[in-house]
Amino acid sequence: MKIVADENIPFAVEAFGRLGEVVTVKGRTINRDMIRDADALIVRSVTRVNAELLDGTAVRFVGTATIGVDHVDVEYLRGRAIGFASAPGSNANSVAEYVVAALLVLARRGLHGQDARATFRLEGMTIGVVGVGNVGSRVVRKAEALGMKVLQNDPPLQRQTGDLRFLPLEALLDADILTFHVPLTRRGPDATHHMINDRLLSRLKPGTILINTSRGAVADSEAVLRAVESGRLGGLVLDVFEKEPNISSALVERADIATPHIAGYSYDGKVNGTLIVYRAACEFLGRPIEWSPKDAMPEPPYPRVTARSNWDDEDALRDLVLTIYDIEADDQRMRKILELPPAEQGPYFDHLRRTYPLRREFQNTCVQIGSVAPSLRAKIAGVGFRV
């Protein structure tokens, strides 16, 4: 077999090499000629998989090592009897940890519109979580562990379960923080394309913190920019942008935290994606599962750290979280895009993703707590550390 895989998929050669010859290439360069004689194609979100790409090729299995599938024409694959697999939930914990890190940073920096950007505490604040699937449900649990009041919105889940905890979107508009974890869909009653628009933003209470880690086109870029410039938003965190990699530099400049679509880029999350798709490929092809990343994972940079027992809970937790995941470093690297001419900004965005540094999830770090307060112990464990 011949398998073409995005070079940004960890262990692609080690895993799929059990099935045949693996050729790794840049995801954005994948074209029909490159895969004409390939049996399988393994991608990430930067490759659009549709009739234009696959017609006339030998491809009989497509896998995307991502939780989202808006870049794949699934109906086309089904009509051609081409096997397909995605990796739902693979990097959900990574995204949830990103949200925790972002909130802790914003709490230290303070909100726009306040005198001297006074700091605030997350405990007791209200966060609205839009989309409560694999990612959103983890955000809910971590936010509750931080002592926040959580409001949840997920119309499909509400209809499916009848659970009263899933509220109409209007019930979330008075929240202090609004974070989006929805798939990108353009049709139907729950379409999410540009759901963050002028109408929604105008109904938020002044000073709301807005977070988007789902897909760039869930937000109308111009509407978000107007909301920031008008002073309506107290904070803005963007990991995703419309028209990636050719993104709005104005939004990067005005966001409090801007990163290049890497919220789900923990090494653990990416390897989970590889494993899920590899297993699905084996099942489709009738081959035994012979590869596991268990013994190949690198040691975490911080296997053991000590909590500061003489600090406020949130300060001590912030110190732990930013030791393991320095989200501000991601933001600083992203802001260098503002120094580049427009023609170089897109390639730099992709460069940041391709060369993203090793980041392990909180679960790989054991925290020694000593005599810390029970409340801090609960927060440390609640966001995912081993205690």
CATH superfamily, domain 92-258, is NAD(P)-binding Rossmann-like Domain (3.40.50.720)
Which is the catalytic residue, given 261, 318, 333, 360? 261
CATH top class, domain 304-382: alpha beta
2-86+266-285 against 92-258: fold identical: yes
Q: Is 215 a catalytic residue?
A: yes
At residue 89's C-alpha, the angle toward residues 86 and 92, to 5°, is 130
Crossing angle for the helix pair 313-324 and 374-382, nearest 10 degrees? Answer: 30
Least confident of 75-84, 107-116, 133-142, 363-372: 107-116
Structural domain spans, the chain: 2-86+266-285, 92-258, 304-382
Q: Is 244 a catalytic residue?
A: yes
3-state secondary structure 152-194: EECHHHHHHHCCCCECCHHHHCCCCEEEECCCCCCCCCCCCCC
Q: In this structure, what token pair is assigned to residue 225?
A: 């920019």
| Region 174-179 average pLDDT | 98
Based on C-alpha coordinates, what's the Rg of the chain? 21
The tens digit of pLDDT for each residue in 133-147 reads: 999 999 999 999 999
The tens digit of pLDDT for each residue in 238-249 reads: 999 999 999 999
The tens digit of pLDDT for each residue in 281-323 reads: 999 999 999 999 988 899 999 999 999 988 999 999 999 999 9
β-sheet with 83-85: strand ranges across: 21-25, 2-6, 40-43, 61-64, 83-85
Residue 1 has pLDDT above 70, yes or no: yes
**What is the per-residue pLDDT for 295?**
83
- What percentage of the chain has pLDDT greater than the value 90? 95
Which is the catalytic residue, given 60, 215, 333, 360? 215
**What is the per-residue pLDDT for 115?**
55
How many alpha carbons fall within 13 Å on the CB side of residue 150?
21
Q: In this structure, what token pair is assigned to residue 371?
A: 């005599």
Which is the catalytic residue, given 60, 97, 138, 244? 244
| Region 112-125 average pLDDT | 78
Least confident of 115-129, 144-158, 310-324: 115-129
Residue 116 has pLDDT above 70, yes or no: no
Q: What is the CATH number of domain 2-86+266-285?
A: 3.40.50.720
Q: Rounded distance, CA 187 to CA 277, Å? A: 27
